[in-house]
Every structure is written in C-alpha cells, then in structure tokens.
Amino acid sequence: MPARTFALALSVVATLALPASSLAQKPLELTALDYFEIQQLVAKYARAIDTCSNNGYDYADLFTSDGIFLPNVNGRSITGIQGREKLAEVSGGGSRGCKNVGWIEQGVLHVYVNHIITPTPQGATGTVDMLMIGLGGDPNKIQHDGYYEDTYVKTAQGWRFKQRTHHATYDANAAAAAGTPAAGRAQ
C-alpha cells in the first residue's frame, strides 16, 4: 500500500475512533461582556414587563424576529407566543394598550435570581428563577413563580431571546385570591 494511501486510511480510522462528543461543535467562548449583556437582557425583560414600556414593544424587541415565549404551567405546555405583535400583546401592550394589566395594576415587580448562563455552539442557554414582589397589592409579599429556561443568541442588535420557556406552578385558587393574571400571559 503506498504511503499516501496508508496515511489517508490511518487518518479516517483515527477520526472514526474519536468519541462522538469530540466531533461535536465546541461552545462559544463567552467574554465577561457577553455574560454581562445576557444578564442585562434578563434585567431589561423584568423592567419591560413591569412597565409595559413603549406599549409592550420594548418587551417584544428583546426576542429575535423568530423568537418565541413558551408558557409551561404545572408541567403542561401552552401554545407559544411568537412574532413582535403577539409578544407585545402578551406583555400587556400592542392592541391591549397597556390597560387592565393585572400585575401592573397591583404594582408587581419581577425579580430574576440565581441566573446560570452556559455557552453553546450557537450562543448560550440559561436558567433563572422568578420572584414576584407585591402580589395582591401587598408590597411585602414575595412569591416564587417558577423558573425560565432560555436560549440566547447574539444578533446585530445585541443578545436576544431565541426561546424563553417559563415553567410556572399555577394555583388558580391562590391566583384568584391575589388577583393575579390568568395563566398564559407573559410574566
């Protein structure tokens, strides 16, 4: 066997012998600025949903043009919300005009804690717990309302949500007593 053919065959055998994980794409190397900007994206999400700023479009613009918000309540997936207009509406704005938005009327503030960001080949994923302060108009009431699983991508406009899944535990009786919004609305 000629040396060149032998070297090629050896190369193919060596490649096939590699574990599948070594053939997978390596995660991006995120900079400190990337981590900070992703954390700011989540903070902007809280501010946008708490204020219905720019009639809900500040919230919608935190997503990529094909980004999706996926509510998951008590382990049951609810139809996802996708598209700038629908995302603005689910946050209380758009055609709803930021009127009769339960969490805003109560003065609820969203706080996201324990944020974990993991680089991926396409950008990053993350998990973050959600706390709501002020439910039922009580500024001292704090409630844990599940967590988010996020997929972040870097765009020309900065980091954006490609997908945001809210895993909520929803107790209809407690929500009715507190006057909180119906399941399926953005939180």
Look up residue 186 and give its two tokens.
Answer: 């953005």
Q: Are strands 158-168 and 63-73 parallel, antiparallel or unpaired?
A: parallel
Residues in CB range of 110: below 8 A, 6 or more apart = 45, 46, 49, 50, 103, 130, 131, 132, 187
Residue 184 confidence (pLDDT) above 90: no
pLDDT reading at 6 higher than 50? no
User: With 50 as the cut, is the pLDDT of residue 58 above it?
Assistant: yes
pLDDT tens per residue across span 115-171: 999 999 999 999 999 999 998 889 999 999 999 999 999 999 999 999 999 999 876
pLDDT tens digits, one per residue of 11-26: 544 444 555 555 578 9
Write down all domains in the chain, each with its CATH number in brackets: 29-178 (3.10.450.50)
What is the pTM for the complete model shown?
0.80
